[in-house]
């Protein structure tokens, strides 16, 4: 039941809130719907080309509520109400839902999910690049249970491959592309237990440099895991936490360089200036590590030393697209997740807006005729916004009423749990007494936790380009890389491919049929 006070608030808003003048005319809405209908009818002609290129954008923790809030924020950053704004991913013609659970977890983590959407096999929480037969932290359950990723399939097919992330390059999401580890936290040998080391397991940074030695582009954070213990960082010379971590004394940057053919142009860089000074046409291999750990939040980013996600994506595509056989690129907006875990919705949403900018950048550099682009998330968060806010209300603003229980205001954005739980004088904190628009404001939560948790609901999958229509309903998360591989004629399922298409040519095979004629086994 809605309180009389709320009725008064909503009634007043309906009378006085700013409604765009054009939206008062029914013709506006009817014309908009007809234009959308016309576009939808055009999708009946399916794009059954072979995907020369595949780009996967992974918004870590980017659940549906985050997508909606980021859409509003994007609009408000352009001085619009926000709700009517379209994200780049909103423009993709095909949308599906992905079931994110891990084999042993109802609410998943980023490692088991990464194994699903990159390797095509669901796995246990906390493990990367291995099947569910591997138990977390048990090194001796790894051997024989390794599973390969679509990045490996693409490389084996002669394509160029790249990884771009705003987290450490050996974090959960990117590591599933190249590593096989019983524990996502084994960033370097410094983080591994003696038992795992004695049983022969290798840390994830080591595997990055050794498992697939010819990854063409790697960009993100994670410098400290590449260097011997206590080696001073090139950027933060006085910061002990930024120093090298490796106990084995290896310099993995030197090892990375040594694996590259001498006639190839190999570049290691650590700052934005070096990145933007590159001539991508003369770069064969690029390793860019811009922070000792994760990269800075977009709102905190140093414009001299740290590139944006969009800038990294632009350079990556320029390098990768030189290969006539095409490329596979994994792009992670990884710090959406971190912002939510810290209860800092403003940081999380600005990360999501920046990832959408990177999606737009990639779209300008590729064609839907030969490039399949998939945007999705690994999981959601217990993040929400509500409170009957009026049109155009700041996404970080207050709801238009007081609580009818404790008579205090509350922000539209709230978390189900997390560090924003605060009690002052035995009562919920009065948010009007704090700067709730601050970049690092921690939104209130219902349950106190040091770190907010993931959510367990399905996440969206947006797709455009060749065979994008195969992402169309509610799917298990591990279905995604099988679609990408099918579209690109890579991996194990090549029965539909001609020799030309599997080599990156334009000719589709005989089984690239219209959706209505595809076998039911391909649709579900």
Asked whether residue 103 is marked as a ligand-binding residue, the answer is: no
How far CA 212 is from CA of 153, 175, 418, in Å, comes to: 11, 12, 38
Asked whether residue 378 is marked as a ligand-binding residue, the answer is: yes
Asked whether residue 66 is marked as a ligand-binding residue, the answer is: no
Asked whether residue 341 is marked as a ligand-binding residue, the answer is: yes
| Tokens encoding 234 | 């090139």
DSSP per-residue codes, 402-450: --TTT----BSEEEEEETT--EETTEE--GGGS-TTSTT----EEEE-S
DSSP per-residue codes, 495-522: TT--HHHHTT-S---TT---GGGS-HHH
Distance CA 177, CA 210 (A): 13
Distance CA 483, CA 78 (A): 36
Asked whether residue 472 is marked as a ligand-binding residue, the answer is: no
Asked whether residue 337 is marked as a ligand-binding residue, the answer is: yes
CB neighbours of 252 closer than 8 A, spacing ≥ 6? 205, 206, 208, 209, 225, 226, 227, 246
Strand pairing report for 217-221 and 160-168: parallel
Phi, psi of 254 (to 5 degrees): -65, -40
Q: ∠ CA 24-25-28 to the nearest 5 degrees? A: 110
Asked whether residue 496 is marked as a ligand-binding residue, the answer is: no
Annotated catalytic residue 149: no
Point out which residues pair with 383 in neighbouring strands.
Answer: 415
| Tokens encoding 197 | 């080391």
Q: Which of 65, 110, 137, 502 is catalytic?
A: 110
Point out which residues pair with 415 in neighbouring strands.
Answer: 383, 445
Phi, psi of 274 (to 5 degrees): -65, -40
Number of helical H runs and strand E runs in the chain = 16, 17
CA atoms 426, 429, 433, 434: torsion sign: positive
Asked whether residue 251 is marked as a ligand-binding residue, the answer is: no
Distance CA 448, CA 454 (A): 14
CA 301 to chain centre: 18
Asked whether residue 16 is marked as a ligand-binding residue, the answer is: no
Point out which residues pair with 55 in neighbouring strands.
Answer: 329, 373
**143 CB neighbour count, 10 Å cutoff:** 13
Residues involved in catalysis: 110
Sequence ranges of the binding site for Mg(2+): 60, 171, 173, 332
Sequence ranges of the binding site for Zn(2+): 60, 337, 341, 378-379, 454
Sequence ranges of the binding site: 60, 171, 173, 332, 337, 341, 378-379, 454
């Amino acid at each position: 039941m809605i309180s009389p006070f709320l009725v008064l608030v909503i009634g007043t808003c309906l009378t006085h809130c700013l409604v765009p003048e054009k939206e008062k005319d029914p013709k506006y809405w009817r014309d908009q719907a007809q234009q959308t209908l016309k576009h939808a009818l055009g999708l009946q002609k399916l794009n059954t080309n072979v995907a020369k290129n595949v780009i996967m954008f992974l918004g870590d923790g980017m659940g549906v509520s985050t997508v909606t809030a980021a859409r509003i924020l994007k609009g408000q950053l352009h001085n619009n109400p926000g709700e009517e704004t379209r994200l780049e991913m909103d423009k993709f013609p095909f949308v599906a839902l992905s079931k994110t659970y891990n084999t042993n977890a109802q609410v998943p983590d980023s490692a088991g999910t990464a194994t699903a959407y990159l390797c095509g096999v669901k796995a246990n929480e906390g493990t990367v690049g291995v099947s569910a037969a591997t138990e977390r932290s048990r090194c001796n359950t790894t051997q024989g249970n390794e599973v390969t990723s679509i990045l490996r399939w693409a490389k084996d097919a002669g394509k160029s491959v790249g990884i771009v992330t705003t987290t450490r390059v050996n974090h959960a999401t990117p590591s599933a592309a190249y590593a096989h580890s019983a524990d996502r936290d084994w960033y370097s040998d410094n983080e591994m237990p003696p038992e795992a080391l004695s049983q022969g397991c290798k840390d994830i940074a080591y595997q990055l440099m050794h498992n697939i030695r010819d990854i063409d582009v790697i960009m993100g954070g994670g410098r400290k895991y590449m260097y011997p213990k206590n080696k001073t960082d090139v950027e933060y010379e006085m910061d002990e936490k930024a120093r090298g971590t490796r106990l084995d004394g290896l310099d993995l940057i030197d090892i990375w360089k040594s694996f590259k053919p001498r006639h190839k142009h190999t570049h290691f860089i650590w700052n934005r200036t070096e990145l933007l000074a590159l001539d991508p046409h003369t770069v064969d291999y690029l390793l860019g590590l811009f922070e000792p750990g994760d990269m800075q939040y977009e709102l905190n980013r140093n414009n001299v030393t740290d590139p944006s996600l969009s800038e990294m994506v632009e350079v990556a595509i320029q390098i990768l697209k030189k290969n006539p056989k095409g490329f596979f690129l994994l792009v992670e907006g990884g710090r959406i997740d971190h912002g939510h875990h810290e209860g800092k919705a403003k940081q999380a949403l600005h990360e999501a807006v920046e990832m959408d900018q990177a999606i737009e950048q990639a779209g300008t550099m590729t064609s839907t005729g030969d490039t399949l682009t998939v945007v999705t998330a690994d999981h959601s968060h217990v993040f929400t916004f509500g409170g009957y806010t009026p049109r155009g209300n700041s996404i970080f603003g207050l709801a238009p009423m007081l609580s009818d229980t404790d008579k205090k205001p509350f922000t539209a954005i709230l978390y189900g749990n997390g560090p924003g739980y605060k009690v002052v004088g035995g009562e919920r904190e009065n948010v009007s007494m704090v700067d709730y628009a601050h970049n690092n404001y921690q939104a209130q939560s219902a349950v106190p936790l040091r770190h907010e948790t993931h959510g367990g609901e399905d996440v969206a999958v947006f797709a455009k380009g060749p065979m994008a229509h195969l992402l169309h309903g509610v799917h298990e998360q591990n279905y995604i890389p099988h679609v990408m591989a099918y579209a690109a004629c890579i991996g194990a399922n090549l029965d539909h491919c001609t020799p030309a298409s599997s080599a990156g040519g334009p000719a589709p095979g005989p089984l690239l049929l219209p959706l209505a004629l595809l076998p039911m086994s391909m649709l579900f």
